[in-house]
Copies of this chain bind each other. A is one copy, B any other.
Amino acid sequence: MRATVLHGARDVRIDDVPDPRITAPTEAIVRISAACICGTDLHPYGNMDPAEHPVRIGHEFMGTVEDVGSEVTTVKRGDLVVAPFVYSDGTCQFCQAGLQTSCTHGGFWGALGVDGGQGEAVRVPWADGTLVALPPTDDPRLIKSLLTLSDVMGTGHHAALTAGVRRGDSVTVIGDGAVGLLAVLAARRLGAERIILMGRHISRTDLGREFGATDVVAARGQEGIEQVRELTNGHGTRAVIDAVGFLAAYEQACGVVRAGGVISRVGLPQYEQAPLGVPIWFNNVTLTGGIAPTRAYIVELLPEVLDGTIEPGKVFDRTVDLDGVPDGYRAMAEREALKVLVTP
């Protein structure tokens, strides 16, 4: 079959790779009908070490079950399914607690002999714990929204949920990428009244307004902090969501959070050390968030996607086939595209 392989920084190729086949009775093979390129994929795309071997890539996908191992009970051949961006056994204490990203048998797509998501098919370890069966559909708008349950919608929800967003709340969302925009949607869904979106790409922040942002602040750094404080009587917002992951975004979050408030970080941190001394401590600021266990949220969010209450699929603004994937990476890296859908 054909699949996306990252050969080096800015060197994405579509290669012939071995067809996936079941190697354990808990596995399934899924023929991919829709996948996407993620902001996180841009980190290895931009910085892959020349000494590294080529790697399979892609971690968001949906498709049709083509084969299942003898112990798989929750999905069957022909089912339309969506996969979260981490696979998990569904039975360990962390999975039972809804923290599937810490599953004792879990792992990442594209690593350790497991297929990546940007290809024709994928072998799914722990199919029962990982896959969620969906009602059949060929509606392209619905498919886009269902696909966001794999990562970006669930990640936005994780941000709002761990930040404790509740009715009447005030929230700042830092970052106008797909996760930031869907964090706006998630915060609105949980009842936030004031949502300040910090981002500088007008087409994106316009979508953020459509998702529920009440204010947009384009300025960054100290200027951006001051603008948010001006909008909030000098105190900042109770909740702040960092949907970026760079140190500057974290510092911005520290600057706009209200005393006693919460910063939730869902962007993969691009730093090891960060300010964590007296200012944060003196203001009783809580830091939370982390990698989102989206598997835990698919079932909760699915009904509202199916009935159109939320339409997170609006973040997709470009569609490519497998041959178009390399250009899809380029377009996302150059911020020409917000989120690229891949239809193999």
A291 within 8 A of B: yes
A 283-301 binary contact with B (CB < 8 Å = 1; else 0): 1111111110100000000
A276 within 8 A of B: yes
Q: A177 to chain B: closest CB distance in Å? A: 17
A291 touches B286 (CB 8 A): no
Q: Which residues of B contact A285 (CB under 8 A)?
A: 290
A143 within 8 A of B: no
Chain A residues numbered 256-310 whose CB sits less than 8 Å from any CB in chain B:
259-260, 265, 268-269, 271-278, 280-291, 293
Q: Give the complex CA separation of A159 and B142 in angstroms.
A: 46
Chain B CB within 10 A, most for which of A102, A276, A293 = A276
Q: Which residues of B contact A102 (CB under 8 A)?
A: 259-260, 283-284
Binds B, one of A93-101, A168-176, A315-323: A93-101
For chain A, the bracket of interface size reads: 20 to 34
Chain A residues numbered 93-152 whose CB sits less than 8 Å from any CB in chain B:
94, 97, 99, 101-102
Given A276-B287, A286-B288, A288-B286, verify A281-B265 contact (CB < 8 Å).
Answer: yes
Q: Which residues of B contact A275 (CB under 8 A)?
A: 272-273
A94 touches B259 (CB 8 A): yes
Q: A27 to chain B: closest CB distance in Å? A: 25
Q: Which residues of B contact A97 (CB under 8 A)?
A: 260
A64 within 8 A of B: no
Residue of B nearest to A93 (CB): B235
Q: Which residues of B contact A272 (CB under 8 A)?
A: 275-278
Given A94-B259, A97-B260, A102-B260, verify A281-B277 contact (CB < 8 Å).
Answer: no
19 intermolecular pairs with C-beta atoms under 8 Å apart: A97-B260, A101-B284, A102-B260, A162-B284, A268-B281, A269-B276, A269-B277, A271-B276, A272-B276, A273-B275, A273-B276, A273-B277, A274-B274, A274-B277, A276-B276, A281-B289, A281-B290, A285-B290, A286-B286
Which A residues form the contact surface with B (CB < 8 A)?
Answer: 94, 97, 99, 101-102, 162, 250, 259-260, 265, 268-269, 271-278, 280-291, 293
